[in-house]
Amino acid sequence: ETGVTQTPRHLVMGMTNKKSLKCEQHLGHNAMYWYKQSAKKPLELMFVYSLEERVENNSVPSRFSPECPNSSHLFLHLHTLQPEDSALYLCASSQSWSVTYEQYFGPGTRLTVT
């Protein structure tokens, strides 16, 4: 595997379900990000992790819970989601968070909440 990978690629879940999205980066980067992309809207930054420490949380509802067990892996735990949470969820990584470096994206998870 190379670059940034995400699983699953597609997910359909009910509002009472609990599921998790997984991201893995094979680039040796120290920062990882979760973004939400809804139709016709800009990419929205949700969370930033730097060296496994959460450094940004952009007013994301508590039904989204991130976890970063090490610098290569990032999870997004989902529970009691709403239909408006349906979107493409993108993981990205960069060399460092403290200095601006370009970010590289994974293929995304297309989430549908029914």
Q: Which residues bind another protein (CB under 8 A)?
A: 40-43, 45, 48, 55-56, 88, 90, 97-100, 102-108
Q: To which H or E segment does residue 87 belong?
A: strand 87-94
The C-alpha R_g of the chain, in whole angstroms, comes to 13
Nearest CB to another protein, comparing residues 64 and 97: 97
Nearest CB to another protein, comparing residues 18 and 38: 38
For the CB of residue 98, give the shortest distance to another protein in the complex, in Å: 7
For the CB of residue 49, give the shortest distance to another protein in the complex, in Å: 12
Rounded CA separation 68/4 (Å)? 15
Write a three-state SS string for 9-57.
CEEEECCCCEEEEEEEECCCCCEEEEEEECCCCCCEEEEEEECCEEEEE
For the CB of residue 38, give the shortest distance to another protein in the complex, in Å: 11
Nearest CB to another protein, comparing residues 45 and 60: 45
